[in-house]
Structure 1
């Protein structure tokens, strides 16, 4: 199960309200608290993302581990949870709700939770679809440095899995030391792509902002070659340079260069994947959760995580709901 946990929000497909999951007695495990419920969630996340290697970013209330030890069905769960916290695989906070909402707002990663966050709708009005209050300072595309020299929580120079800062009063703060962080320059934005062949993930690719890359059977220097990844019986309709991806200003574009055409669909809807449509030859945006069917059985999928630019565009298009709306909170 640990293979599906990540410390890198850039690799995560879902944010998970671990306290809510562990205490959710509708998930089939007996007892008040059980980590086995997380295993059931992992299996469901694999199916939802259609990714056997799906990655989850876990956030938990400190009270889950420290305040209800006797409620765990298996005492080994407490020791395992402690190891995960020590290794950074669980971000443990006095109150996980604010952090989950913060991460969702800044990264666009969907939240898995049964909590409707009714007590947080005033402090996080964007939950209600309020576009005016969503556009907060962009902490995702910047590197940050703690005043404490030994603190490496936000140091991307020592790996990509740097913690996303807490934002207090619009100012990024260190979670450990509670002090404001210094801006350490821009962080290179990246896009994650997955190649699925016959429903299985065969490879992952990362594109950086400001790049243009061709993908196909043999796209040439600088391109992503699928020749050794796609079985021979599927390569007949796969063009040498099948599609071209362009990443600029936090927006991903795709253009079809294939001989026989490419199909496109979105999988981000609440009712499941949409219908396949012709991509066409004009350049169009390639959003988080979109899939490109290059040939039958071969799909190039973009991860569900979106750039802040894309999040801003989505919220600007959405009509604000009345402030007293009492429906279920929707996480996007």
Structure 2
């Protein structure tokens, strides 16, 4: 009886110990997967398929889909182990590196200037690729940060202001007389850091697009890439300030010259319109008189036209102080009339 009681107590103890440890809790911001003897529970033969991966990357990052356990109580057997991960969105500085301490990311621009870049990343564990984050990659966040920094440095080294490039390629300044591509290139040369500062949204959008495949590669989804600060060394910053002042002055001079030219063109157009209107005002009465005379001649003939002309001359003769009339005779020279008196 003593042996049987001991065995019964031992079995009872083992049962209570096993059952007490057979349950585990998954919090609302967590997801879990069960591992049985080193193998995670899978969803059949299904694998991760991401459209952001090419054919070669699909073969390289061939991760299976796992059976994900949501929030709540879950049962496990003694030979099973739960792997629980926090899926909440978190932020991290882009300067984070577990192998070294750094306060900024150094990058070289297209004009060979070394600049410091600071910012943050918002990321979360990809539930669609839980296997890559938990089992496929050692230190997945470190991989993602290394990938992000390499893409960022490549973009900074090749970045060109879209508006400045359009000017160089034949835009507004390229069509200016006396300027052309040389002037546009001179205004755009050596200011890549300024271009980066002015186009931070474009840079952030590019980084987000390039990092869309990190979920399929490393099991981490980037929610946002926020490059907040681009600071060159102090001596370079002073030189850039001088360049900016010069560019602003040149831009102001160009604007003033264009305004003056447009004003002169407008005044010239107005002067031409005024001269044209004056000429039309002087010609209009003559055209009207010619039409009147033609109408009189067509209706009454030459006698009516001669009578009309004689009647129109009477008021003029009344206001004249001196009248000279020339006549032709067969035997003598022309006679002169002064004040209405005839001289043969």
**TM-score normalised by structure 1 residue count:** 0.21
Structure (1 or 2) with the greater strand fraction: 1
For the pair shown, which has the larger CA radius of gyration, 1 or 2? 2
Higher relative contact order (CA 8 A, sep 6+): 1
**TM-score normalised by structure 2 residue count:** 0.21
